[in-house]
Structure 1
Amino acid sequence: MDSNAPQTKLQVSFVTISEENATQRIDNFLITYLKGVPKSMIYRILRKGEVRVNKKRIKPEYKLNIGDEIRIPPIRVAEKATSEISTKLNKVADLEKAIIYEDDVLLAINKPSGIAVHGGSGLSFGVIEGLRALRPDAKFLELVHRIDRETSGVLLIAKKRSTLKALHEQLRLKQMQKNYLALVKGNWSSECKVIQAPLLKNVLKSGERVVKVDKEGKPSETRFKVEERFDFATLIKASPVTGRTHQIRIHTQYANHPIAFDDRYGDRQFDVLLAGTKLNRLFLHAASVKFIHPKTGQEMQLNAPMDDALQGCLTYLRKDKYQPTEF
């Protein structure tokens, strides 16, 4: 895509499509290109014919071709969203320090707990918006997958559309292996190696996602392995085969071993037992991801170390003197 970044000034702009954006739908292209512009406005200017491709009106489902020239009408990017990002740049700048791998087609970060992967549901922005703000010259930055806001660990970001498509295909074919570490309540049985429980998701008007085990839900599978045992808790490795919302959190709850400090699916009494560890965040960490690099064809495994809060919790539990707080 040969162009400058979108302008906030009211002026017509022209974009010439390169191989990177070929075959992409025009509506999806505009949603990415016009960051901060509501989708409703994008579909409105498409419907009214204000967006032209090669001087012709097109429909939202039109697929772009190499060399297409797009005329984009004068449109104002939301200044509120821009200012909100600016006020939080100090926090988002930490994302630069969290990068654990980068090449010309792929970027991976060790996402901190407490930041969403994208804006929405009342959040002004997340990891992807933060990275775009830090790298305004990047032509393409898109999430390969998602992890929960309170979960930390490996997060992949594609720097090319072809990379995004290739990694999505690996996800679809279940060729990408993700391994999480979780501290769960009680003594997890070594015999419990696989949980297959269908998950049903409902989205409330507030945007909150509520997920539960339900026979009407989608097939879901997680594989488990015990990593370390404590008196009243177990550190487990969880490897999701499917990628449902909150899957690991619900499958562990379903097995009567909820994850520590899970404010939605957890056990408050278990959290109280951990008071001495000073932990105050969900103990769920995307520790590693294994996949085939889209460009080199080589198998890669990226690892993300646990943060100080999780490491500190385990260190405390390993002390022989640890006595859980009574409730």
Structure 2
Amino acid sequence: MKVSNRIVTEDEADLRLDRWFRRHYPNLTQGALQKLCRTGQVRVDGGRVQTNTRLLPGQNVRIPPMPDVSRPAPPPPPDPHMVREIEKMVIYKDDHLMVLNKPSGLATQGGPGITKHVDMMLDGLRQDEGERPRLVHRIDRDTSGLLLIARTPGVAAKLAAAFRSRDVKKTYWAIVVGRPQPASGVIDQPLAKVGAGGAALVVPVGRDEEDAASAKSEYETIDAAGKKITWLALSPLTGRTHQLRVHCESLGTPILGDPRYGGKTAHPDGFLDQLHLHARELDIPHPAGGRLIVTAPLSAHMRETFRTMGFVAGDTPGPKRIRAKKA
């Protein structure tokens, strides 16, 4: 074994060093990589680095003599029924990414008591001999709508960076109980998590409280049925757990059918008892340049409530790719 060098590719831009090593040397542990960085055996462009260093295309990574770096055995083929199920969720795809329309009730990732989730189904979207697709973000199990999936680690890193820099615009539709006053505005209400595990709740807190996390959401009334039921457009300006659900409750207008927030108010008689929150639109910077706007049709239970209340959603526009302007 001897020292070698590898050049970071365009697709690997913005990957953390430890994730880059995990991609190329899956048997190398985090602890072993930390030691190699600490002792200067791993270097980038000749300089010392830490495991969380983000890489740029064209950089030269020094690879010291490594232990067994053979790739693990390939996973078993995915369940064909699960493949068909997740393929039906795909509403946009290209060489870089895919966008799913997730049904309400399907978890994004695993957890206590969760035996089926989107992440475990992604092998069904793997291209022949290609990378395993990976989640870029999450939405709640009971929320329907758009989920962004990256085809490669490099694309995932670019899209994750766009989420961190708030260069992703997300629009949700919600049916809430009551009518917010004023009809539109910004909810600037810090939040904190109370409890642990599946019983944890997110609650509004004062700005000076120790665990307070800044949370802001825009809301706009699209239509209303008197003072009883309102159709809102919501845009989270931060990304806290259950943010939109708790912010709607803090307005005094909980989301219809919310199983966790809003209490009895969220469950009036005569309506379907499912969460009426839908990730309607994503506007993202495309990894190949320009922007991509994708819109998801409503889930069946929300369509039924729209019909009952006389709300008109209109046609769902197809995906729109806006090319970058040439300089």
Shift of 1:274: 3.2
Query: Which amino acid in 2 is paired with 1:210?
Result: L
Indicate whether 1:61 and 2:51 are aligned. Answer: yes
Q: Which residue is 2:269 aligned to? A: 273
Shift of 1:262: 0.7
Q: Which residue is 2:223 aligned to? A: 228
Query: Which amino acid in 1 is paired with 2:153?
Result: R
Are the aligned partners of 1:27 and 1:42 in contact in 2 as well (CA < 8 Å)? Answer: no
Indicate whether 1:256 and 2:231 are aligned. Answer: no
Indicate whether 1:211 and 2:202 are aligned. Answer: yes
Indicate whether 1:168 and 2:168 are aligned. Answer: no
Query: Which amino acid in 2 is paired with 1:224?
Result: Y
Aligned partner (choices 225, 239, 243) of residue 243 of structure 1 = 239
CA distance in 1 between partners of 2:25 and 2:78 (Å): 17
Aligned partner (choices 171, 177, 182) of residue 179 of structure 1 = 171
Are the aligned partners of 1:154 and 1:287 in contact in 2 as well (CA < 8 Å)? Answer: yes
CA distance in 2 between partners of 1:31 and 1:121 (Å): 26
Shift of 1:300: 2.4
TM-score, length of structure 2 as denominator length? 0.72
Shift of 1:32: 6.7
Indicate whether 1:156 and 2:148 are aligned. Answer: yes
CA distance in 2 between partners of 1:173 and 1:201 (Å): 23
Shift of 1:139: 1.2
Identity %, equivalent residues = 30
Are the aligned partners of 2:108 and 2:118 in contact in 1 as well (CA < 8 Å)? Answer: yes
Are the aligned partners of 2:193 and 2:203 in contact in 1 as well (CA < 8 Å)? Answer: yes
Q: Which residue is 2:280 aligned to? A: 287
Query: Per the alignment, in what secondary structure is the counterpart of residue 93 of structure 1?
Result: helix
Aligned partner (choices 116, 121, 135) of residue 130 of structure 1 = 121
Stretches of structure 1 that go unaligned for 5 or more consecutive residues are 1-15, 320-327
Q: Which residue is 1:117 aligned to? A: 108
Are the aligned partners of 2:219 and 2:234 in contact in 1 as well (CA < 8 Å)? Answer: yes
Query: Which amino acid in 1 is paired with 2:234?
Result: A
TM-score, length of structure 1 as denominator length? 0.72
CA distance in 1 between partners of 2:299 and 2:230 (Å): 18
CA distance in 2 between partners of 1:33 and 1:21 (Å): 11
RMSD: 3.9
Shift of 1:122: 3.8
Q: Find runs of 4+ consecutive structure 1 residues off by over 3 angstroms.
A: 20-35, 41-49, 62-79, 206-209
Query: Per the alignment, in what secondary structure is the counterpart of residue 154 of structure 2?
Result: helix
- In the superposition, relative to structure 1, how do residues 76 and 259 fare at CA in structure 2: closer, same or farther (>3 Å)? same
- In the superposition, relative to structure 1, how do residues 191 and 311 fare at CA in structure 2: closer, same or farther (>3 Å)? closer
CA distance in 1 between partners of 2:176 and 2:189 (Å): 18
Q: Which residue is 1:198 aligned to? A: 190
Are the aligned partners of 1:154 and 1:286 in contact in 2 as well (CA < 8 Å)? Answer: yes
CA distance in 2 between partners of 1:91 and 1:309 (Å): 23
Are the aligned partners of 1:43 and 1:60 in contact in 2 as well (CA < 8 Å)? Answer: no
- In the superposition, relative to structure 1, how do residues 247 and 74 fare at CA in structure 2: closer, same or farther (>3 Å)? same
Query: Per the alignment, in what secondary structure is the counterpart of residue 243 of structure 1?
Result: coil
Q: For residues 307-326 of structure 1, what are the structure 2 equivalents within 5 Å?
A: 307-318=299-310
- In the superposition, relative to structure 1, how do residues 229 and 33 fare at CA in structure 2: closer, same or farther (>3 Å)? farther
